[in-house]
Structure 1
Amino acid sequence: MATAPKQGLPVLYKDLVPLNSADHGSWKSISVDKAPWVAKQHAIPLTVEEFPQAQRDFPIVFSAGDNPVPLALMGLNDGVNVFFDDDGSPLDTSAYMPAYIRRYPFLLAKLDRDTTNLSLCFDPTSGLLGEFEEGRPMFEADKQPTQHTTELLQFCEKFEEAGAKTQLFMEEIQKAGLLMDGEVAINRNDNPGQPYIYRGFQMINQEKLRELRGDQLRKWNENGLLPLIHAHLFSLDLMRFIFSKQSAQGKGPSLPAGTAAAAN
């Protein structure tokens, strides 16, 4: 039986446990060729550093609500991911893999609300860590982290740094009032005249973008923010590509209305 996610945990994570030599000194991590934990996820968090690569494969949108985050849409309907089969087998190995997925099951988290220190944690329900005969050890015989564990920690630290940059980006575009509720209408050949409408996400308001002052645009161009906005806007054309892949895989919507990026 699947374990229900604990309230407040990020997408994909069902539980979090701090990695430590006392409890996990003999544990190993294994690599797998399937990712069932992501097979039903249609929207995956993205950092701004990933925009240039991600925009080639996924529509990049922003979640709804007061604290939006960038999302890579791997499907347009809840529970649909056109880049993975139902068992988690990748369907397109050439597509960019978001760092959020590559980081799983690890995560840096606060163990004490009164401190800013972050500890390396993992999702024990993932089945990727345990007392396996095969795999990569997490700790040496003297209980010190192995090189593998050190590299995992460094990857998670870089992800946190990218997350901080992403937050600054989001604050900047929100301060400029550029976000608007998104809506995309897609016609299907077998149902002309009755488009499928996708809502539940935010996008850049291009009219307000054109109204920005020249000095603001120059500043954003110099600090790299403007190219990120353009990457988002260009990527929106992939909505129809994702829709076509859904239909080809038999995962297309059965109703005229859908939610492309609900609240994750």
Structure 2
Amino acid sequence: MSELLFYDKPVALNRERHKNLRLKAMDDGFAFSAGVNSVPLAGIEFFEASRDMTVLFQKGADGHFFPVVMMSLSNSGHALVDPQGRWQGSYVPAFIRRYPFALASDGTVCIDEKSHAFSETEGELLFTESGHAPALDTALAFLRQFDTEMRRTRDFCDGLSQKGLLAPFEVEVRPRDGGRAVRLQGLFAVNTQKFSELRGDTLELWFTKSWVAWIYAHLHSIGALGKLASDKAPSSLPH
């Protein structure tokens, strides 16, 4: 899983190097995300995402599982942004909303220097003479909250894995319009039979941590696969 998906020129945020940098609204909105069909998702987001997207799991190179939200079944990207880059779905994953900022695994704040959100003439300054400007403080608060939730989510996935609840999820989805079927591979879902066998302290603890609710949201989201298969091909977006 790439923590810096979408970032053309990721660099560490530096007060001296970026002292004149300003943050503004991007003219092309969420167009930067159009080339992917899924992104990592935090457990707390499962509820909102499950309305029209599917939450499944992948296994990373380190052997740990992590959740992803399927925005499309097309390898060429997703259709949740229109040609102007405006989001058309009901929920924008936090992984996308944090752009053009990111927090590296060692805590370093990074930015995409090539992002259209940055300018030296328009928008709000990131730094003042005395420290962080409000725009940067807001971005940093969001990054820290996102990092906290992703850590909770990693614990959740490790718990699922330790109990053997994640099973390969391979399915052929046929669009309602009779189009070509799409076969999903390399993904995982919670085994409902093993989940139903949880008892005692484990089940009580998982309720307390909201993990049981996250599992139900994940299972509910699988019903959105038919919608994803029927979505039109991704729009052509300006770069």
TM-score scaled by length of structure 2 = 0.87
Matched residue, 1:258 = none
Of the three residues 57, 64, 70, the one matched with 1:67 is 64
Shift of 1:29: 1.0
Match of 1:123 in 2: 112
In the alignment, structure 1 residue 79 sits paired with structure 2 residue 73? no
Moved more, 208-217 or 231-240: 208-217
SS at match of 1:200: strand
8 Å Cα contact 2:22/2:126 also seen in 1: yes
Aligned to 2:5: 11
Question: Per-residue deviation at 1:13?
Answer: 2.4
Q: Which amino acid aligns with 2:210?
A: G
SS at match of 1:199: strand
Paired with 1:203 and 1:223, the residues of 2 have a C-alpha distance of 19
- Give, in angstroms, the shift of residue 226 of structure 1: 0.7
* Higher Cα radius of gyration: 1
Alignment of 1:21-170 (within 5 A): 21-33=15-27, 34-65=29-60, 66-85=63-82, 88-92=85-89, 95-109=90-104, 118-131=107-120, 133-140=121-128, 142-170=129-157
1:175 aligns with 2:170: no
For residue 232 of structure 1, what is the aligned residue in structure 2? 218
Deviation at 1:197, TM superposition (A): 2.1
The answer to whether the Cα contact below 8 Å between 1:68 and 1:170 also exists between their aligned partners in 2 is yes
Amino acid aligned to 1:124: E
Using the size of structure 1 for normalisation, the TM-score is: 0.79
Alpha-carbon distance in structure 2 between the residues aligned to 1:227 and 1:8: 27
Give, in angstroms, the shift of residue 205 of structure 1: 1.1
CA contact (8 A) 1:40 1:86 kept: no
Deviations 1:84-133 (A, max 9, x none): 136633234xx1111111101101226xxxxx5x23220112232231x2
Q: Could you tell me whether the CA contact under 8 Å between 2:3 and 2:104 is conserved in 1?
A: no
- Local SS of the residue matching 1:220: helix
Q: Which deviations, in whole Å up to 9, do the C-alpha atoms of 1:19-76 show, x marking residues without a partner?
A: 2221111110111252222011110111011112111121111113422211111101
Q: Which runs of 5+ in 1 are unaligned?
A: 1-6, 111-115, 252-264
Contact 2:10–2:111 at 8 Å: present in 1 too? Answer: yes
Bigger Cα displacement from structure 2, 173-182 vs 49-58? 49-58
Q: Which amino acid is the alignment partner of residue 67 of structure 1? A: H
User: Whole-Å Cα distance in 1 between the matches of residues 219 and 21 of structure 2?
Assistant: 45
Do the aligned partners of residues 21 and 223 (structure 1) sit closer, same or farther apart at CA in structure 2, a change above 3 Å counting?
Answer: closer
Q: CA deviation at 1:191?
A: 4.4
Once the two structures are superposed, residues 148-188 of structure 1 have per-residue CA deviations (whole angstroms, 9 ceiling, x without a partner) of 11111111111111111011101100000011111222224
Deviation of 1:14 (Å): 3.2
Give the corresponding residue for 1:209.
Answer: 195
- Distance in 2 between the 1:86 and 1:67 partners? 36
> Aligned Cα RMSD in Å?
2.3
- Residue 237 (structure 2) aligns with: none
Aligned AA for 1:153?
L
Structure 2: 5+ residue stretches without partners = 235-239
Q: Give the fraction of aligned pairs with identical amino acids, expressed as a percent.
A: 29
